[in-house]
Structure 1
C-alpha cells in the first residue's frame, strides 16, 4: 500500500507511507481540506487506487507546548525542569540562563533529550530560558525569573 495526501490549500502532495504491507496509515495533518490517495499492489503486480475527500477540523500536526517550570533546590545545585505536552517523540530541550547583574547569557545545554537541567548558579537574579524543538524544526520557548 502507498498512501498520499494532497492539501487543497497549498496544492502539494505528501507521501504518508510507501510500499507498506499494512492497510493502515497514521496521519497528523493540519486543519484543512485534503484528498487522500491510496494505492494497493498485489504480489503479482496488479495495481488499483482510490481517492477520497477529507475535511480535517483541527490541527493534528506534531506540536509541543511548554506548560511552566518546576525546580528542586539542593545545597550545591538547582535542578530546573519544564512541564510540557506533545503528540510526538524526539523533543529536544535547550536551557540558558541570563544573569541580570552581569547582563550575560550562559548556555546550560543544547538540544538535549531531557526536560531537566542541572544548574550551578552564583547568588543573583536570573532569567531561565528553555526552548523545545521538534524533529520537524518547530520551536517554542518560555522564560521565568529566578532569584
Structure 2
C-alpha cells in the first residue's frame, strides 16, 4: 500500500498527504475485486491453517465523490470533501482533525494549480524507488499478508 511504502521510505508528510487520494482510490478498486471467501489467519500464528469465512456480498460500493459517481477524476475536490466532512472512508475523515493535515488539505482544496504541481513533486521520487509494476508487481490475495513465493 502507498502509505506503508511512504513511511518506510521516509518521504515527507506533505507528500504522503498529496498521494493520499490515490491510496483511497486503490482501496476502492481492491474492494471491487473482493473475493467470495476470505482467509483469516490467527494473529501471531502465521503457520496455522487459515480459516475460511464467508464474505457477505456488498450491496453497492460508495463512490469517493457521489457527484461524479463512477466517473471519478483524481482532482483537488477530494480535499474539499475532507474539509466539509463528506469523505467516504474513515482514514480520509481523519485528515480534518490534525493541525498539519487540516492545513495541507485546506491549501490543496483552495488551489488546484498547487495541488497539481505538489502532486507531481510528491509522486516523482517514487519512480526512482524501484517500485514493481505490471506483471512484476504483486497483487495481494489477502491484504493483511504478503503472498507466499
| TM-score (normalised: structure 1) | 0.25
Larger Rg: 1
Comparing both structures, which one devotes a greater share of its residues to strand? Answer: 1
Q: Kindly indicate which of the two structures has a greater share of residues assigned to helix.
A: 2
